[in-house]
């Protein structure tokens, strides 16, 4: 390809949306822009103590418009805008929302604008733990195994559990909720000017991994499956979908309204959306049997396997196996950790409490000096902890942590589990605690690799993408040592957005398929972490202790939960 042709990839993360303009000819980035959700930044509509995390659709709309317009301006303005061929979008998930018949999220209506139950229920919202437990108990007794393609365990982070919880929790929202829509399906619908829910093209990725859709079932489980679970779910399957679409398919063209708002042409093609980790795996140039780890606030781990190698295999305890969820025509397997970077952010928040709450009231510093000092200290906190933790000697008596601060996603989802730190003494300090937390997140990653292998799916390599992979050498070296495998780090900063841009290039007809787009637009790897032989044996023994401590906590928690329930 000799001609410059431009596409836009949009990646909605937990804290922000990032847009990139990419030259489809070679994958070069012309411009990027990051927009932080203002309402989310203020903590609005969330209650971490109750595991409630909601996001307002206005954060998404404002971020969409401002990040794209900023990108276009940075890239050169109108000449570049006139050459944009396509846009594709990825989002977190499962992050669904209640909509009316027109497909409008209820929170965009005046009567619901401040109601958290009318907003997007972010992936890490765990208010539906009870509903997920009931789905699992009910599905186990049903004639057809509708959980067979989602690892056998339905999670509170997913589509149906969240819908049932919202319907039970809020009578007003229940009465106004016509359908239930994933974030990755709604944004393309918005951009194409959809005005009825029946026009929405639903993502194969989202439907298969989170909503029990499967080709074998001819779509979703039948209505009677859901009505017998709870009559509140009656009729929803009729207002959802049977057909789903892979992300190499067009969702339509940019509407006149959005073309005017963005300064683009209505000739711009919009692709069907998908989840961030799945498009990120494509941006990170995934290969069969190489585990793509998107490492940010959580992790999402993606494998692709040739169809002939997985026929008849059902992988237990993961987040689904779906044909075409990553690369069309090839099964995609998903796993992940509910908290990864969030574990480090939690610890940073604990240590930062006096900095944030006492420094501003200092009698010795001016407000401007206090604010500048606060920023400097917070920016240096994790890098300095990493530096000091790396210097610590390794002994059998080191502190040991469990990484379930936001529950456990895989293997074997259980969002009621909690984190723990063991073997504390008066010699325990901040670097030692930080090291224990880093090791715990890496042990959680090893649990996932081991599950794939015991289920007959080899893991031949690790591809690291995302913020933690790019910015945290200490974490990545620890993970290489724990896994006893090299980890290649993809060099592109916004890998999920790059993956979205690759899909946009396919949708625009610039490339014939995703594999060709990965080859033409991939930027390769800029770093590789190699296991350190002297640390591998140490972590092998530590991992056994991690497993034993985790098993004890899980059994104790289960016993306490049952006792409480009976009481």
387-406 pLDDT per residue, tens: 999 999 999 899 999 999 99
Q: Tokens representing 84? A: 């944009």
The pLDDT of residue 360 is: 83
What's the CATH fold of domain 6-284+492-526?
Nucleotidyltransferase; domain 5 (3.30.420)
280/292 Cα distance (integer angstroms): 8
- What's the mean per-residue pLDDT of the chain? 95
Phi, psi of 301 (to 5 degrees): -110, 125
The pLDDT of residue 560 is: 56
Alpha helices, DSSP H, located in 263-409 = 276-283, 307-310, 341-358, 367-390
As a whole number, mean pLDDT of residues 148-170 equals 96
The pLDDT of residue 567 is: 42
Q: Record the pTM.
A: 0.91
As a whole number, mean pLDDT of residues 210-237 equals 97
pLDDT surpassing 60 at residue 564: no
Alpha helices, DSSP H, located in 142-275 = 159-169, 171-176, 183-191, 204-210, 223-229, 256-262
Helix (H), strand (E), coil (C) string for 354-365: HHHHHHHHCCCC
Digit-coded pLDDT (tens) for 346-365: 999 999 999 999 988 888 99
The pLDDT of residue 566 is: 43
Digit-coded pLDDT (tens) for 251-267: 999 999 999 999 999 99
Phi, psi of 334 (to 5 degrees): -125, 140
280/262 Cα distance (integer angstroms): 25
Q: How confident is the model at residue 511 (pLDDT cuts 50, 70, 90)?
A: very high
As a whole number, mean pLDDT of residues 426-455 equals 97
Coil, strand or helix: which one is 211?
Answer: coil
In the Cβ-directed half-sphere of 478, how many Cα atoms lie within 13 Å?
Answer: 27
Q: How confident is the model at residue 1 (pLDDT cuts 50, 70, 90)?
A: low
The pLDDT of residue 3 is: 81
Q: How confident is the model at residue 312 (pLDDT cuts 50, 70, 90)?
A: confident
Phi, psi of 526 (to 5 degrees): -115, -5
Q: How confident is the model at residue 488 (pLDDT cuts 50, 70, 90)?
A: very high
CATH number, span 341-491+532-566: 3.30.420.40
Coil, strand or helix: which one is 304?
Answer: strand
Digit-coded pLDDT (tens) for 294-307: 998 899 999 999 99
Q: How confident is the model at residue 563 (pLDDT cuts 50, 70, 90)?
A: very low
Digit-coded pLDDT (tens) for 82-113: 999 999 999 999 999 999 999 999 999 999 99
Burial-class residue 388 by CB neighbours within 10 Å (0-12, 13-18, 19+): middle
Domain ranges, ordered by start, for the chain? 6-284+492-526, 341-491+532-566
As a whole number, mean pLDDT of residues 488-510 equals 96
189-203, 231-245, 351-365, 508-522, range with the lowest pLDDT: 351-365
Tell me how many degrees the CA angle 349-355-361 measures, rounded to the nearest 5. 140
């Amino acid at each position: 390809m000799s001609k410059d042709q431009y596409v836009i990839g949009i990646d909605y993360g937990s804290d922000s949306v990032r847009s990139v303009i990419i030259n489809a000819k070679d994958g070069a980035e012309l411009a990027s822009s990051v927009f932080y959700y203002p309402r989310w930044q203020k903590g609005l509509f969330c209650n971490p103590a109750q595991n409630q995390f909601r996001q307002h659709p206005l954060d998404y709309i404002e971020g969409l418009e401002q990040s794209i317009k900023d990108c276009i301006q940075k890239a050169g303005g109108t000449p570049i805008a006139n050459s944009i061929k396509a846009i594709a979008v990825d989002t977190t998930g499962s992050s669904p929302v209640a909509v009316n018949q027109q497909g409008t999220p209820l929170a965009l209506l005046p009567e619901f604008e401040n109601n958290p139950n009318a907003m997007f229920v972010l992936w890490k919202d765990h208010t539906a733990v009870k509903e997920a437990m009931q789905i699992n108990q009910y599905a186990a007794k049903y004639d057809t195994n509708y959980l067979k393609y989602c690892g056998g365990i339905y999670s509170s982070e997913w589509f149906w559990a969240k819908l049932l919880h919202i319907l039970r929790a809020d009578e007003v929202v229940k009465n106004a909720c016509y359908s239930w829509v994933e974030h990755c399906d709604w944004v393309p619908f918005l951009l194409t000017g959809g005005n009825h829910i029946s026009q929405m093209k639903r993502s194969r990725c989202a439907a298969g991994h989170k909503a029990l859709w499967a080709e074998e079932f001819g779509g979703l489980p039948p209505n009677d499956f859901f009505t017998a679970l709870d009559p509140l779910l009656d009729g929803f399957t009729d207002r959802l979908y049977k057909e789903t679409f892979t992300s190499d398919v067009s969702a339509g063209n940019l509407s006149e309204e959005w073309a005017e708002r963005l300064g683009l042409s209505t000739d711009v093609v919009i692709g069907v959306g998908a989840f961030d980790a799945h498009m990120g795996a494509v941006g990170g140039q995934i290969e069969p049997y190489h585990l793509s780890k998107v490492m940010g606030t959580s992790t999402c781990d993606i494998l692709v396997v040739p169809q002939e190698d997985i026929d008849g295999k059902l992988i237990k305890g993961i987040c689904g196996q779906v044909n075409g969820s990553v690369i069309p025509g090839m099964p995609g397997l998903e796993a992940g950790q509910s908290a990864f970077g969030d574990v480090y952010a939690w610890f940073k928040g604990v240590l930062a409490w006096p900095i944030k709450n006492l420094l501003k009231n200092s009698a010795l510093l001016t407000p401007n000096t206090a604010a500048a000092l606060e920023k400097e200290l917070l920016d240096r906190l994790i890098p300095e902890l990493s530096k000091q933790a790396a210097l610590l000697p390794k002994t059998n008596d080191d502190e040991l942590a469990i990484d379930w601060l936001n529950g456990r996603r895989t293997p074997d989802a259980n969002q009621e589990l909690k984190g723990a730190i063991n073997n504390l003494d008066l010699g325990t300090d901040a670097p030692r605690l930080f090291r224990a937390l880093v090791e715990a997140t890496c042990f959680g990653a090893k649990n996932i690799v081991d599950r794939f292998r015991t289920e007959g799916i080899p893991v031949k390599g690790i591809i690291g993408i995302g913020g933690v992979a790019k910015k945290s050498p200490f974490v990545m070296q620890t993970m290489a040592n724990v896994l006893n495998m090299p980890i290649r780090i993809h060099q592109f900063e916004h890998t999920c957005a790059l993956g979205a841009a690759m899909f946009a290039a396919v949708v625009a007809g610039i490339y014939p398929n995703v594999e060709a787009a990965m080859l033409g637009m991939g930027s390769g790897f800029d770093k590789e972490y190699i296991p350190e032989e002297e640390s591998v044996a140490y972590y092998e023994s530590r991992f056994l202790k991690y497993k034993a401590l985790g098993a004890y906590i899980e059994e104790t928690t289960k016993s306490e939960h049952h006792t409480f329930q009976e009481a």
